[in-house]
Structures are given as C-alpha cells and as structure tokens.
Amino acid sequence: MEPTPGIDAYSPAEMARRVEETGVQKAELGLGSMLALAVLAGVFIALGAAFSTVAATDPRLGYGPSRLLTGLAFSLGLILVVVAGAELFTGNNLVVMAWASRRVSTARLLRNWFWVYFGNFGGAAATAVAFYFTRRWEDAGGQLGATALGIAKAKCSLPFGTAFVLGVLCNALVCLAVWLCFSARSTTDKVLAIVFPITAFVALGLEHSVANMYFIPLGMLLRSEPVVLAAGGWGPEAVSRVGWEGLLGNLLPVTLGNVVGGGLMVAAVYWSVYLRDSRKPA
C-alpha cells in the first residue's frame, strides 16, 4: 500500500530547503521562459492593482474599512503569481537564499533580477495602457480615474528616504507571504497564506515597485483627461509630478527598499537560521 501523502504544513526548516531549491530553478530558467513569466507577473500584479483601485474609489466606508477592502482586492495579484505561476521581482528576492548557500552565482542572481524586473515592467505598463483604452476610468463620473491619478500623484511626491523605507517594509511582507506559501500543501493553503500579509502592506500604504509600474504609468495617461481632473478637483499643475521623472524618482528608492526588505530582512535571516551550515559550491 502506498503511503498516504502528508497534509500537515511543511516545517520552517523544510520551507527553507524548498525555497533554496526553487531559487536554483529560477536562476537556471532560460531567458525566453523567464521573460514570458515575468511579463505575466507584471500583468497579474497590475490586475490586482486595478481591482484594488475600484475598491478604494468609494470612501464612504471610512478610512480603516476602506483600506482593508483595498488590500483584500490587491491580494488577487500575488495569488495569480503564486498559483498560476509567474516570475515576480519582489518575490524573487528570496533567491538570495540559494545565492547565500553558493548554489547560485552572483551573475545568475543578477541576471534573474534584471530580466524579471524588465519583464515585470513590460507587463504592468502594458496593462496600464490597456486599462486606459477600456475607458473604465470614466466610471462614477470620473471618480475611478481620479482615484488612480491620486494614487500616482501621491507616489510621485514621496521623498527618497520615505519611499525607501516604505519599500523595505512592503517587501518584507510580500516575501513573508511567499515564504508562507512554501509551507502549503494545497491551493487553499497558499491563498490563505497570501491574503493577510498582502492586505496588510496595502492597508498600511507601503510601496511595491512592480505595482508602481502600473499605477504611475496609468496616472501619466490620465493626467490630461479633463473628466479625471474635474473629479479630483485638480488643475494641471497639481499633477505635474506624475511623469517620467516622478516614475524614476519613485522606482529607484522603492526598488532598493524592496531588495533590502526581501533579500535581507526575510531571505538572509531565514538562511542564517536554517541553511547557514549546509552551504554548497555554486
């Protein structure tokens, strides 16, 4: 008789070994597959961001409940990434565990991060363009568009240091969500592991580089739309920071913060606890 498969969650030590093995597989992906999966991840995160924008558009629930609902809606993005399978830059900061074990070279780590980041940007920005052409931003008298533009406006106005710290805290939660998924034995387990950390990071107003690859380009497309400006009560000058300079000024500190939050605060810590004594040559 074959043994009955286990149903208990994997232990943290087992999770660490699974993350390490997955990191090796990610680093060894062919460029074509890596880029295709990275574009998909950008699309998935953008879909979660678009869904969350709808949830955030009606503020009558009050600050706390509205933020909670917005975060729950955004969870869709990482659920799609993890369950459907895709390559997400922020989650791939966990490849640091395989790198620290000397199973992935520095060149392979940076190759993965570079191309996945590039693909994520392509997928997220393309989704922003697609959403713009749906004209769904005209819904509720332009309020949906005003919410989207307001999000981009706030992100482009963040000081460097603030954006960096918000990025650190954000990706600590995102990588913890991915880490928890490695304890899972079912799709239900994975969904439940994702929802709470992702809801928390959105509700807290933290900064995710890949989500911002959707939010800010969409804001750039909406900043000249009269119905959106009227719904938000802004003149053109009020949204002047929503542009290429604002996009780069946000992505640089947020991306650096995401690497610190995921690569150091999660991956390096768990590697030190569970894998430090089992290093292998790359």
Compute CA distances 13 → 233, 240, 244, whole Å.
Answer: 53, 50, 44
Percent of the chain with pLDDT over 70: 96
pLDDT in tens, 152-163: 999 999 999 999
Burial profile 189-226: b = 16 or more Cβ within 10 angstroms, e = fewer? bbbebbbebbbbbbbeebbbbbbbbbbbbbbbbbbebe
- Which secondary structure element, helix H or strand E, spans residue 191, and what is its range? helix 187-203
Give the up-direction half-sphere exposure of residue 235: CA atoms within 13 A in the CB hemisphere. 1
Q: Tell how far CA 162 is from the center of its chain.
A: 18
Can you give the pLDDT at residue 281? 52
Share the mean pLDDT of the chain: 95
Confidence grade of residue 59 (pLDDT, cut at 50, 70, 90): confident
The per-residue pLDDT for range 163-214, each reduced to its tens digit, is: 999 999 999 999 999 999 999 999 999 999 999 999 999 999 999 999 999 9
- Checking if the pLDDT of 2 tops 60, the result is no
Task: Look at residues 174, 176, 250, 253 and name the one whose alpha carbon lies nearest to residue 212.
Answer: 250
CATH class of 12-277: mainly alpha
Rounded-to-integer distance, Cα 64 and Cα 189, Å: 26
C-alpha to C-alpha distances, 122 to 31, 116, 261, nearest whole angstrom? 15, 10, 23
How many Å apart are CA 58 and CA 38, to the nearest integer?
32
Q: What is the pLDDT of residue 1?
A: 39
Do 131 and 52 contact (CB within 8 A), yes or no? no
Residue ranges of the domains in the chain? 12-277
Which pLDDT value is given to residue 3? 42
Q: In which band, very low, low, confident or very high, does the pLDDT at 4 lie, cut at 50, 70 and 90? A: very low
Residue 235: CB partners within 8 Å, gap ≥ 6? 229
Q: How many Å apart are CA 209 and CA 198, to the nearest integer?
A: 14
Please choose, from the candidates 205, 197, 202, 203, the residue with its C-alpha nearest in 3D space to the C-alpha of residue 165. Answer: 205
